[in-house]
Chains A and B, each alone.
Chain A
């Protein structure tokens, strides 16, 4: 579903991604782990279409099409979803309104009919119950007054409502305690399926106890330096990223 080939990206003239190769098929869960500064967030933002980054080399193909050509809203309509590490607050835009506008904008873009309000409300009620998100929270402005855990759960709720094909979770576990982590992981696991691919970006191994990956990659200094199965995550937990940091020194 997703093919990243030799991707190089820089911001303000500073190279961050230095040749990423990654293939993610439908139904698979890939974990990307790495130390701070390795390029994890850059990768997720490049996939989502943030224009602060300049692609200097390489390609990203999604469902056979050039992803980098598409505007962020078109990527979303094609089923790409990025769960942000720091979901921002937008005062004055109610969460419910936002969800409905987003879903219907995507449906319209795909040539589908808009979802009528009663069906939409039912869908949201179902999904928010699964994530233990109170209805009252949905009446509030996007992420305003939400705790860290609530913000992450709200990201997963958006994922559940929008039903994307490619889910990129950018350090979804950062700032969460164990209980919040479990709820978020449950929500993500409910969305796993043969038609869906997930890229779980994380610094810590802990999340991967709950969202068990099929493949684990180590990102260091803008390159994937090692790939393996889920045991690789446990190995990293033991040894840390030190062994891979020499790459960063070389690249600097």
Chain B
């Protein structure tokens, strides 16, 4: 007996768009089997909903309350000046900009990278993808059955793959700007693949931003492959438009003695779901995952993090500092797996929620699956309000309540920002946080 599943408007919008996508997207023979598998998977599972454990706090089926068909046609306009508003505007960096899911040459400047790294734009560039890209595309966690990545594969329109040759230390950071104008309620599917060969070193800055007031869904998938001795840092600012929904997957595979650092600041979107998966696949590898949330109004931000210690002698460090005001809701789900052979693992996880109102909420769910015995794995989760003694101390020196709060909130978030490597990058983030706080005060 077959059961007719009632699909939501959003789900139908995706299902209806499959045929359009097949006609519109650039042909890439090697990609077709993956695209078909993705379409089939989505048709079977639909959007995640809260009866699925990993989505219990984020019912995506309800959050996507209307159709957001994938953007499948270029809109070569709008969002001018978007890079100037980025948190990294003061830095000397390469810039690659995508607006509404498509690459914008006029808003990009990365000629300086030629000769240092190899880049492939993931629109038309998919057809003639080089071997290193085909080998890794979607391969960091190939068995992850995830709806967001399925949609991304089926409807991908723009993105970039970067391969850093062995031993190359990329001199300037590379900023990827993903902007949504909200001109139409669409899903923007973008992708990034970063390959760091042995001993190479690169910092990628990721700015997700709204360039207009409308509603859209940003669905980004970033995969990072760090080979032995390599170093990769991914610093992301999620400042989507207030009515937008931000969906993201960050996958990383870390080789022996390699170092992967990821930082994400969440200040935008009405709902954000950040999925981070890291596999420490080589002995002596290190992963550092930090994040800061600055949520107010009815914002919702959910990070599902998984760090897999697959081999011995790896270290991982996680720090989440989440500030929630008004009716905002912050969620952290952090799983650490230590496989049977992963002896001498050292893993640390710390999550702290700061609630600025009686109606704000913070949910933390640490999960540790430890199968080896020579392991150190510590985790802590706390949640509280602004410290009264600290507030009184600042006020007793003449600092008014609002400014005192800002100082303490800045200090709270600053601890996460401290995990980022690079003075200028940290300064940019700190200034951006202060700017967002000032804006929030003005809008009261």
Contact = CB atoms under 8 A, between A and B. Distances in A.
A98 B399 CA distance: 9
Nearest to A92: B411
A142 B407 CA distance: 12
Interface in A94-110: 97-98, 101-103, 105-106, 109
A32 interface: no
Interface string B382-423: 000000011011111111110110011011101100000000
A158 interface: yes
A166 to B, nearest CB: 13
A73 B412 contact: no
A73 B407 contact: no
A50 interface: yes
Given A73-B398, A98-B407, A91 B415 contact: yes
Contacts of A91: 411, 415
Contacts of A141: 411
Given A88-B390, A92-B412, A92-B414, A72 B403 contact: no
A76 B396 contact: yes
Interface string A148-170: 00000000001000100000000
Contacts of B397: 73, 76, 81, 98, 102, 106, 158, 162
A73 B411 contact: no
Q: Which of A84, A92, A97 is packed against the most chain B CB atoms within 10 Å?
A: A92
Interface residues of B, number: 21
A92 B414 CA distance: 6
Interface in A72-131: 72-73, 75-77, 81-82, 84, 87-88, 90-93, 97-98, 101-103, 105-106, 109
B309 to A, nearest CB: 29
A72 B415 contact: no
A98 B392 CA distance: 13
Given A90-B390, A92-B415, A105 B398 contact: yes
Interface residues of A, number: 30
A96 to B, nearest CB: 13
B398 A76 contact: yes
Contacts of B390: 88, 90
B400 A90 contact: no
Contacts, number: 75
B398 A88 contact: no
A49 interface: yes
Contact of A90 (B395, B396, B408, B415): B408
A71 interface: yes
A191 to B, nearest CB: 16
B398 A162 contact: yes
A230 to B, nearest CB: 29
B398 A106 contact: yes
A98 B396 CA distance: 12
A143 B164 CA distance: 44
Contact of B396 (A72, A97, A101, A142): A72
Nearest to A143: B393
B194 to A, nearest CB: 31
Nearest to B397: A102
Contacts of B396: 48-49, 72-73, 75-76, 81-82
28 contacts: A48-B392, A49-B396, A71-B395, A72-B392, A72-B395, A73-B396, A73-B401, A76-B395, A76-B397, A81-B397, A82-B396, A88-B390, A88-B393, A90-B408, A90-B411, A91-B415, A92-B408, A93-B407, A93-B411, A97-B407, A98-B397, A102-B394, A102-B397, A102-B398, A102-B399, A103-B398, A141-B411, A162-B398
Interface of B: 389-390, 392-401, 403-404, 407-408, 410-412, 414-415
Given A75-B396, A76-B398, A98-B394, 20 more contacts: A49-B395, A50-B392, A76-B395, A82-B396, A88-B389, A90-B390, A90-B407, A92-B408, A92-B411, A92-B414, A93-B407, A98-B399, A101-B399, A101-B403, A102-B394, A105-B399, A105-B403, A106-B397, A106-B398, A142-B393
